[in-house]
Chains A and B, each alone.
Chain A
């Protein structure tokens, strides 16, 4: 059970459907780990459902029902999409990636292409249409420290495997660490096991330490 959760405003925006895709992906992945947040999202969705009931209906086109009924025959013939989702979730068990994330990377861990960013730090960027947020997987070797850096916007990190320490707190699988422009931080991966994270950021990352500044041109985070 995670100890560090997604903040409530993000859960509400996730439930209403207002989150940009990369953030939504991080929230969905956290929910895979976190029963508490899942229940909370369920309650907000129930409010969405009741608000749907409360909306003034707008009549459908005259032939809409007929069209829908015609579509049911075809639907029965097509393979169920739910079955596809289940199979991705099952593969997720063996890769350790939550299904939404594995799905975003095309359904196969082997299909993820890693780029070396610094010694012991690899990154796999997720292609997204979103203009503001970037999303990438980071794989950090045991004991390696991410160079000290600040953010222009905010950065959300979800731990998928292993763990890291940052600012006196320890983050393990399912935990979410939220950093904003105020914070300069240098997370350190746990010894023993590589740390796998999903990082979603809404502004360029700036490295602040001396070594960090030297790395800046290479570290296209």
Chain B
């Protein structure tokens, strides 16, 4: 069963085995994504849980003709993460709150890494000139806007824009070749 079919099986049959399949594949990647963006382990686990719950609830809205499973789940996680930051950014949160300070849960051993589409994209990304690849990673995984990246790397905004743009156009071409 493909990842896309698993989402459809949830929509159609409320299939728990399909949910388990999606969870095992995506949850550790989503955790990695959210932690790269600066969340601690505990917060990352919560975002992942919320994301997977939305996958279950919104499965009927998934259209495999419009988006791959990874694309759809990426957008849900991105939004869940943003919702969380905006809540946490409010001044009334007390940093001394004992709940915030609780230790991260015990972790299991790393599961076997599954790389299906990942390999192909990895190839495409590693074929990019490093300066472009770095910009794309910053844009997607370091929560930096074009403007932030320019400031951080002391580059003119125009240079950042054109590097990201060139890299994304190239990746987009590679993705089209894969389809």
Contact = CB atoms under 8 A, between A and B. Distances in A.
A53 B116 contact: yes
B27 A80 contact: no
A45 B145 CA distance: 15
Interface string A153-194: 000000000000000000000000000000000000000000
Interface in A52-82: 52-65, 67-69, 71-72, 75-76, 80-82
A9 B36 contact: no
A182 to B, nearest CB: 14
Contact of A17 (B82, B117, B122): B82
Given A57-B29, A67-B49, A12 B168 contact: yes
Contacts of B12: none
Interface in B150-175: 161, 164-165, 168, 171-172, 175
A82 to B, nearest CB: 5
Contact of B109 (A8, A46, A59): A59
Interface string A24-67: 00000000000000000011111111111111111111111101
A18 B61 CA distance: 25
Contacts of A61: 45, 105-108
A129 interface: yes
B145 A68 contact: no
A61 B43 CA distance: 12
A8 B166 CA distance: 12
A18 B139 contact: yes
A43 B75 CA distance: 12
- Is the interface on chain A under 10, 10 to 19, 20 to 34, or 35 or more residues? 35 or more
Contact of A12 (B24, B54, B70, B146): B146
A16 B171 contact: no
A13 interface: yes
A65 B16 CA distance: 11
B70 A53 contact: yes
B28 A60 contact: yes
Contacts of B79: 17
B7 to A, nearest CB: 13
A67 B172 CA distance: 37
B5 to A, nearest CB: 16
A55 B29 contact: yes
B76 to A, nearest CB: 11
Contact of A53 (B36, B89, B109, B118): B118
Among A12, A55, A59, A81, residue most surrounded by chain B Cβ atoms (within 10 Å): A55
A75 B137 CA distance: 34
| In the A-B complex, the 4 residue pairs with the closest CB atoms | A57-B28, A49-B71, A49-B70, A61-B105
Interface of B: 14, 16, 19-20, 23-24, 26-33, 35-36, 44-45, 48-49, 52-54, 56-58, 60-61, 66-75, 77-79, 81-82, 86, 89-90, 105-111, 113-118, 121-122, 125, 136-137, 139-141, 143-146, 148, 161, 164-165, 168, 171-172, 175
17 contacts: A13-B139, A17-B79, A42-B67, A44-B168, A49-B68, A49-B70, A50-B117, A50-B175, A52-B33, A53-B29, A53-B121, A55-B36, A59-B111, A60-B45, A60-B48, A65-B20, A71-B53
